[in-house]
Amino acid sequence: MLTQNVWAESEALVDLSRMRELAPLTHCITNIVAANFTANVLLAVGASPAMVIAAEEVAEFAAIASGLLVNVGTVTKKEAKAMLLAAAAARKSATPWVLDPVAVGAVQFRTDVAKKLLDHQPSIVRGNASEIIALSGSAGGGKGVDSADDSATAVPFARELAKRIGTVVAISGVVDYITDGNDVISVAGGDAIMTRVTGVGCALGALMAAFAAGCEPLRAAASASAIFSLAGERAARIAPGPGSFSVAFLDELSRVGLDA
């Protein structure tokens, strides 16, 4: 196993501060379940979300946005077309973009869509272990959107995928791993309750797109993960259940790094 560098909280706070100054226009093409929470996470943390999804609009918008998220969580045929147009435009305009391959491996259609999206070379791919393994072309253990695999198991697949595509791959789990094919960064922390609220992983992908407006993808993915872990830990300490957790999580995201 490679040496894994633990990402320092201080590094994450530097990137967060830069992101807040930029207030990056973050274009999200995401699923109907997580759209609201994703926009609220971006607003809480200081980014400027824009949920533009029509095939008629996405290319024009991805070109002017500072970052783009493409999340295939509830992708349909028509949305797949829009996602491909947006990804192509982002690539052409050098807008950093993040692919979130939700439940890839569990069903065929979205697996095909996600693989076509890879041709437009995302800056970052973020998923759980099962999704990353499936996307890399190997046999995974996906069951819906939850991961049947441990995040560490997926590291070799992530490295291979990152090298092959020329991207950064982030595996979310109890420990998050982020790799550009060579270096592997780990981010621990967070809390198990984060898996009991829908859209937390989806919102993390969006935050990576916002961070990528101000720093290189490897840093963006690691710092966004670290900020999520930090805010998640704090929120978990004061929330008695998943309903109050998601409220406290937004509150903590709005003040992380701003504490006196």
C-alpha 107 chain-centroid distance:
20
- What are the tokens at 47? 């980014």
Residues engaged in binding a second copy (CB under 8 A): 25, 31-37, 39-40, 43-44, 48-57, 60-61, 64-65, 73-78, 103, 106-110, 143-146, 195-199, 239-244, 246-255
Residue 98 beta carbon to a second copy: minimum distance, rounded to whole angstroms: 18
Residue 201's nearest CA partner among 177, 173, 175 is 173
Q: Name which of 57 and 150 has its Cβ closer to a second copy.
A: 57
Q: Name which of 162 and 250 has its Cβ closer to a second copy.
A: 250
Residue 88 beta carbon to a second copy: minimum distance, rounded to whole angstroms: 17
**Residues 127, 167: contact at Cβ < 8 Å?**
no
**Residues 218, 180: contact at Cβ < 8 Å?**
yes
Q: Name which of 28 and 87 has its Cβ closer to a second copy.
A: 28
Q: Name which of 52 and 152 has its Cβ closer to a second copy.
A: 52
Residue 110 beta carbon to a second copy: minimum distance, rounded to whole angstroms: 7
Residue 40 beta carbon to a second copy: minimum distance, rounded to whole angstroms: 5
**Cα separation, 114 vs 36, whole angstroms:** 23
**Cα separation, 198 vs 34, whole angstroms:** 7
Amino acid (one-letter) located at 162: A
